[in-house]
Amino acid sequence: MTNHIIGKLLQGRYKIVQSLSAGLFGQTYIAVDVDYPKNPKCVVKQIKVSSSECSDLDILRLLFQTETQTLKLLGSHQQIPEFIACFEENERFYLVQECIEGHALTAELPIDQQWGCLWSEREVVEFLIDVLGILEFVHSQGVIHCDIKPENLIRRTSDAYGNAEALHKLVLIDFGSIQSIDFGICAELPIYRIPVTSLGYIPPEQFIGQTQPNSDIYALGMIAIQALTGLEPLQLKTDPHTKEIFWRFENTPVNDYLAAVLSQMIRYNYQDRFQSVGEVLRVLKQMVWETQPSQILEADFQFPLEVAKNPTSGNSSSLLTGMKVGLAANSLVMGFGVYSLVNTAPAYSETDTLYKATKEYQAGDLEEAIAIVKSIPSHSNVYPEAQAKIEEWQEQWQVAAQQYQIAETAFANSKWSYVLDAATKVPKISYWQSKTNKLVQQASVNIEAQTQYLLAKAYESADIRDFSTALKYLRQIPKESHAGALVQDKLAEYNRKRQIRAAYFLQKAYKKASIGDFNRAVKFLRNIPSDTLVYAQAQVKLNEYTQKQRLLSDNQKVASAKRTNSFVPKNSATKIEYLQGVNSLQEVNIR
């Protein structure tokens, strides 16, 4: 369908020129508006429809038309693409929106802790406040975006409308994925429908048709954690019992307050998360204000001590099945859960305790590290992470000890490559890596010495044209050797020369056999290696020439006997058989 629609003119106006992306609920394209001068670009979203029944289509058509006003309101926000049109063609539904010129947030995020710089706390907080401001507006219109991810946040780099304030702002795109556009035909979200780029950002409840406003908060929290750690969501581990995500590592530059906020944003159970965007904004702005005492406004962060943690939500819109609406009327005040989070943020002493335990673990004292971790009280916010560390450390320690033992045994047996292989499997524990690196260093020296010896032997064999032996030496050189490229070149060269030499021996055998010198022919054939291209042909000739060599030898013996008459039998019958055998040998020799 993607290729089929390229070049097509929709509504006699929007010409599809490029496929852009596939979202949760539709395909996105770049189009040009042929009705306008200079043909400005726009984005066209083709909405997936879950049913083709006429009765269902009538309902969908009504829902689609009803939602047009909501989409127009969304487009009025300067950080959301402007709504242009919404239409149906050939029983397919389309949205047309402003095309944002810029780059996706993906280009600004660090990748796998190796590419790009990790974001500072200030940068993360500013990013969250910026995007949460957009989401607060979106949710107030009764809409849940449902596909918050780096690809859907565009940094505007040009502005066709001359609005300087909009430049370099983040713009939230792809509102064709909002849950209201799914029409509620299928409440659940099958994994096969999800683009790879969305995996990891989508919260658990969204897969079972229980999408909440704070489902968008979860996704945004995952992006913030990616910015701080350089790890994508699918690279993070999950507690097998609580399903909570482990994301805070000893080298993650984040204070306890912000860490607690982010952890609350990505809680596995949506009831345990912040219940509204407003709650998150309030906590984050307090954090910013606390760093600027002159700007603190006491009235802005007086927290109620007793508020229902999970207030009931408003009635679901009949038009937006599976989605909570009326968020403006049902906005949730700061609940007791958030109040607890802010006021019982992990004490620095407990964080220091976990850090101290980690140092002991890295230094090689597992028992002491575990004992220190167990001293952290169960009411601490770092307690789940601390308990998870114990299980993780025990597993990694066992693997490290096993791999070190393998490396040590391989070293004792002079199996240098095995030493290096085992070393790569040792987990990142300084104590074990230090012990293993000593073996690796010596093994590497031995590999290079072995390489030089084998190369010299290979060269010697090649000088006397014994390419089979030369190849045998080359194949013993470990792949970890620094001479790897040279070895591969020599393997190819010597194998080619061996094939040529084998063909040369075969031709020499033919020539010797043609003049009846079967002894020399056989010698040439026996020098042809078994793994050469002409070996099979050589074996056929070897059998043939060996038989002729034997018959010729017997023939020569008979001829010699005839000259001396010492081998002619006196018995007449035996004499006849003997002469017949002589004639047979003579015929073979002639042939």
Query: What pLDDT score was predicted for residue 481?
Result: 81
Res. 265 pLDDT band, cuts 50 70 90:
very high
CA-wise closest residue to 173 among 327, 20, 395: 20
Q: Which of 272-276, 329-333, 429-433 has the lowest mean pLDDT?
A: 329-333
CA–CA separation, 579 vs 573, rounded Å? 10
Query: What pLDDT score was predicted for residue 52?
Result: 56
CA–CA separation, 570 vs 557, rounded Å? 18
CA–CA separation, 221 vs 125, rounded Å? 11
Instruction: Enter the tokens of residue 551.
Output: 């018959």
The catalytic residues are 147
pTM of the full structure: 0.50
Query: What pLDDT score was predicted for residue 245?
Result: 92
The label of the residue with tokens 């990505």 reads 266
Burial per residue of 91-110, b for 16 or more beta-carbon CB atoms within 10 angstroms, e otherwise:
eebbbbbbbbebebbbebbb
Q: Using one digit for the tens of pLDDT, what is the confidence trace for 300-327?
A: 333 332 333 333 333 333 222 233 222 2
Res. 334 pLDDT band, cuts 50 70 90:
very low
Q: Using one digit for the tens of pLDDT, what is the confidence trace for 552-569?
A: 888 777 777 777 665 555
Q: How far is CA 76 from the centre of its chain?
A: 38
CA-wise closest residue to 286 among 327, 258, 305: 258
Query: What pLDDT score was predicted for residue 383?
Result: 81
At residue 62, what is the residue type?
Answer: L
Sign for the CA dihedral angle at 386, 388, 392, 394 comes to: positive
What is each CA distance from 247 to 27, 266, 307, in whole angstroms? 32, 10, 30
Q: Using one digit for the tens of pLDDT, what is the confidence trace for 470-522?
A: 999 998 888 878 887 888 888 889 988 989 889 999 999 999 999 989 899 99
CA–CA separation, 563 vs 73, rounded Å? 122
Res. 426 pLDDT band, cuts 50 70 90:
very high
Question: Is residue 206 packed enough to be buried (19+ CB in 10 Å), middle (13-18) or exposed (0-12)?
Answer: buried
Say whether pLDDT at 33 is over 90. Answer: yes
What is each CA distance from 578 to 44, 548, 560, 569, 590, in whole angstroms? 101, 19, 14, 8, 19
Say whether pLDDT at 587 is over 60. Answer: no
CA–CA separation, 252 vs 258, rounded Å? 12
Q: 216 vs 61, which has greater pLDDT?
A: 216
Query: What pLDDT score was predicted for residue 222?
Result: 97
CA-wise closest residue to 3 among 14, 12, 15, 16: 16
* CATH fold group of domain 2-345: Transferase(Phosphotransferase); domain 1 (1.10.510)
Percent of the chain surpassing pLDDT 70: 74
CA-wise closest residue to 175 among 74, 106, 77: 74
Query: What pLDDT score was predicted for residue 326?
Result: 27
Query: Three-class SS of residue 89?
Result: strand
Long-range contacts at 451-455 (CB < 8 A, ≥ 24 apart): 451/477, 451/478, 451/481, 451/482, 451/483, 451/487, 455/483, 455/486, 455/487, 455/490
Query: What pLDDT score was predicted for residue 115?
Result: 59
Q: 251 vs 154, which has greater pLDDT?
A: 154
Q: Delimit the domains of the chain by residue range.
A: 2-345, 501-590
